[in-house]
Amino acid sequence: MTVDDLKARLQAELPELLKQDSGFRQWLEQLIRETAVTPESFDARFDRMLREFAADRAEQRRKWDEHDSEWREWLQEFKTHREEQNRKWEEQNRKWDEQNRNNNELLKEIKLSRTRQDQGIGALGARWGIASEHSFRATLKGILEQSFNVKVLNVTEFDDAGMVFGAPDQVEIDIIVKNSELILCELKSSMSKSDMYTFDRKVRFYEQRHQRQAQRKIVISPMVPQPARAVAEKLGIEVFGYAEDTTGL
């Protein structure tokens, strides 16, 4: 007999059997009560499932929080390490910049010292006849034009009235061109008191001839004795020992 046959027979005979046999009916009722799912047992089972689910979720949350804490700790360590590396790089860059500045300043000092030595040697050479005054003037002219972005013009004009030398003669003077400012200067290896007076007469000659007032009168010479400097101060002539000293140009 198959299961389906058994089910069909029970459906056909069970109702009549329950009516006739009260003991069998009581046994079947007891069996159903023991095996059937009651609302109470269902609720208990459902509550147990909810508790198990909540416990599992809490465990997963705990593991996630633990992982998240480890991740945040690693990020903080990485950030701290990166900040430390950046600080070290900035400190190293600062040291490099400072070293570069020191090197540049040293090179400037060496260049300035070399230039002044060249000017001093040139002045001595011009004074002792080893080199010409013209070569010395050309050297100073080049330094002025390269260092201060000005134009130095050497002008020679004839003094018919002898205003400068007491008799008609050629007058040579240097002009520094800067914007619209007129600066008359004397570039010479050495300057005496009489040279200062002569330069002042050259300036007055140029101003009278061109009807234009010079804003500044400048002498650039590495050899200017104190008496000559006193004359320059009295005549309003600025004196510079080297071309690099004329920072106000």
Q: What is the pLDDT of residue 244?
A: 44
pLDDT at 69 over 70: yes
Q: Among 131, 164, 180, identify where a domain stops.
A: 131
Q: What is the pLDDT of residue 91?
A: 86
> Is residue 100 domain-shared with residue 148, that is, in the same domain?
no
Bridge partners of 219, per DSSP, are: 186, 239
> Is residue 123 domain-shared with residue 136, that is, in the same domain?
no
Give domain status of residue 74, yes or no.
yes
Give domain status of residue 31, yes or no.
no
> Is residue 185 domain-shared with residue 102, that is, in the same domain?
no
> Is residue 137 domain-shared with residue 215, that is, in the same domain?
yes
> Is residue 56 domain-shared with residue 113, that is, in the same domain?
yes
Q: Among 112, 131, 150, identify where a domain stops.
A: 131
Q: What is the pLDDT of residue 217?
A: 92
Q: What is the pLDDT of residue 126?
A: 44
Amino acid (1-letter code) at residue 235 = L
Give 240's Cβ-side CA count (13 Å radius). Answer: 20
- Average pLDDT of the residues in 127-145: 58
Instruction: Look at the block and give the residue holding tokens 């050629």.
Output: 170
Q: What is the CATH number of the domain that holds 224?
A: 3.40.1350.10
Q: Per the structure, how many domains does the chain have?
A: 2
Pairwise pLDDT comparison (141 vs 26), residue with the higher score: 26
**Segments forming the whole domain that contains residue 173:** 132-245
Q: Among 76, 98, 131, identify where a domain stops.
A: 131
Q: Are 219 and 240 in contact (CB under 8 A)?
A: yes
Max distance between CA atoms of the chain, in angstroms, equals 170
Express each pLDDT in 5-17 by its tens digit: 777 777 777 777 7
pTM of the model: 0.47
pLDDT at 27 over 60: yes
